[in-house]
Amino acid sequence: MPDGRTTVATPETGQNKSLLATTVLVGTAGFAAAEVTISGSARMGITNAYDTTNDANKTQFSSRARVNFAASGETDGGLSFGASFRADNAGDANSGTAGTVSLSGAFGSISMGDNDSAALTTVGQVDGVGFTGNGDLNEIIFLGEADTSALYTYTMGDLTIAASMGQIDGDTNYTGNAKQAASVAASYKMGNYRFSAAIERGDKAVYSFSDRADAYATDPEDTYAERNDLTSQVTLGADATFGALVLKGRVAMGSGEAYNGLPDEPNGYKTTGTQVAVSATYTMDALSVTAFGAHAKVAYDYYGTDWGMESTRYGVGASYDLGGGAKAQAGLSRLSHDALNDDGDWSDTKMDAGLTFAF
């Protein structure tokens, strides 16, 4: 009888951990045994980030606890099936907008629900810092970020291919949630190197804000300075491992249209977008130190002058593995936002320090 151990990805670290989870086995005539596992994650610490109420950075306590459910089984013919969702998303999982349901075999794996796109799944992000992610300023923009989608992956040796499609009858809302976005991607490992590429089609709104309050507002539609839509993008990635040092780089090139004024009044200007992100992580026994840098420019040409937005981000952080699923983590990140040919320039510094736990 299985001992209840399973491997899951924790939201705090993104790394696979072997966890002792509660297991329920069901054996019924004509069916293979099914397994349901429960795992969890939590964090606690202090953050210092921009607060819209005070229009300034504010230091606060920060904590969170989550419980994850994962179910798996196998047919008599050898096909594996499963589902997973967080406890706080149980209602949305029931309606198909949270959690995932998957089927896999020799043909590969297909999952439906709250998937990452093929581009994000295959290319991924460079390393970030902080126990909360510290604003995730290390991340580049991917177009396909829908809650309801289908994702297919297939791995053959060192080659992985993937394809994804957003909800078939979905539309794109004003915040750029591209429900119909589609992408294809591939990655290949060669020893200590990994190369990846992705092509996306869809809509992702990128806003140029007049100040920090606009950027962090609950509803940015009411406060944006201008909006650019990226509708196609090519993203390239490269990872290299040199002993204890891991280097990662991402480059994305996109295009689309720009809008000034109301969403239903497109001015027809063609938008171009470029993004670059790099990171370096060095691990010494239980201690890991990370630094990242990223830059993005989404702009359109208005009679020879660039309009749009440009951002520069960088950060440093450290993580110490305490064992047993516990880590101590801290990070410092800096963002500079430039509304091109406008007065909407602003910057922000984020800091956090705390503990993360995986159960």
pLDDT number for residue 6: 36
Q: What is the DSSP string of 320-349?
A: EEEETTEEEEEEEEEEEEEEETSS--EEEE
CA–CA dist 98, 321 (Å, integer): 30
Examine the pLDDT at 11 and tell me if it is beyond 80.
no
pLDDT number for residue 12: 42
SS3 359: coil
Q: 119: which DSSP letter?
A: H
Examine the pLDDT at 215 and tell me if it is beyond 90.
no
CA–CA dist 182, 206 (Å, integer): 18
pLDDT number for residue 95: 81
Note the maximum CA span of the chain. Answer: 73
Residue 28: phi and psi, rounded to 5, are -130, 140
| Cβ contacts of 314 within 8 Å, gap of 6 or more | 137, 291, 292, 293, 294, 333, 334
Q: What is the mean pLDDT of the chain?
A: 85
Examine the pLDDT at 288 and tell me if it is beyond 60.
yes
| Cβ contacts of 245 within 8 Å, gap of 6 or more | 280, 281, 282
Examine the pLDDT at 343 and tell me if it is beyond 90.
no
The total number of residues shown for the chain amounts to: 359
Tell me which amino acid residue 338 is. D
Query: What's this model's pTM, rounded to 2 decimal places?
Result: 0.86
Examine the pLDDT at 315 and tell me if it is beyond 70.
yes
Examine the pLDDT at 7 and tell me if it is beyond 70.
no
Q: 135: which DSSP letter?
A: G
Q: How confident is the model at residue 177 (pLDDT cuts 50, 70, 90)?
A: low
Mean pLDDT of 139-155: 87
CA–CA dist 279, 294 (Å, integer): 9
Examine the pLDDT at 254 and tell me if it is beyond 50.
yes
pLDDT number for residue 44: 98
pLDDT digits (tens, 9 = 90+) for 97-114: 889 999 999 999 999 999
Q: How many CB atoms lie within 10 A of CB 95?
A: 9
pLDDT number for residue 267: 56
Examine the pLDDT at 41 and tell me if it is beyond 70.
yes
Q: How confident is the model at residue 34 (pLDDT cuts 50, 70, 90)?
A: confident
Q: How confident is the model at residue 197 (pLDDT cuts 50, 70, 90)?
A: very high
Radius of gyration of the chain (CA): 22
Examine the pLDDT at 38 and tell me if it is beyond 60.
yes
Domain boundaries, the chain: 5-40+48-358
| Cβ contacts of 63 within 8 Å, gap of 6 or more | 42, 43, 44, 45
pLDDT number for residue 263: 47
pLDDT number for residue 54: 82
pLDDT number for residue 258: 78
Mean pLDDT lowest among 8-17, 28-37, 209-218, 306-315: 8-17
Q: How confident is the model at residue 221 (pLDDT cuts 50, 70, 90)?
A: low
Between 27 and 337, the more confident residue is 337
What is the percent of the chain where pLDDT is above 70? Answer: 83
pLDDT number for residue 101: 95
Mean pLDDT lowest among 48-52, 71-75, 141-145, 327-331: 141-145
pLDDT number for residue 234: 98
Residue 343: phi and psi, rounded to 5, are -95, 10
* CB-CB contact of 216 with 57 (8 Å): no
CA–CA dist 38, 67 (Å, integer): 7
Tell me which CATH homologous superfamily contains domain 5-40+48-358. Porin (2.40.160.10)
pLDDT number for residue 178: 53
pLDDT number for residue 27: 47
Mean pLDDT of 132-143: 94
CA–CA dist 276, 297 (Å, integer): 9
Mean pLDDT of 306-313: 91
Q: How confident is the model at residue 146 (pLDDT cuts 50, 70, 90)?
A: low
User: 140, 142, 148, 141: which is closest to 171 by C-alpha?
Assistant: 148
In 27-158, which ranges are E strands?
Answer: 34-51, 56-74, 80-86, 100-105, 108-113, 149-156
Between 313 and 2, the more confident residue is 313
CA–CA dist 45, 12 (Å, integer): 13
pLDDT number for residue 23: 47
Mean pLDDT of 302-327: 93
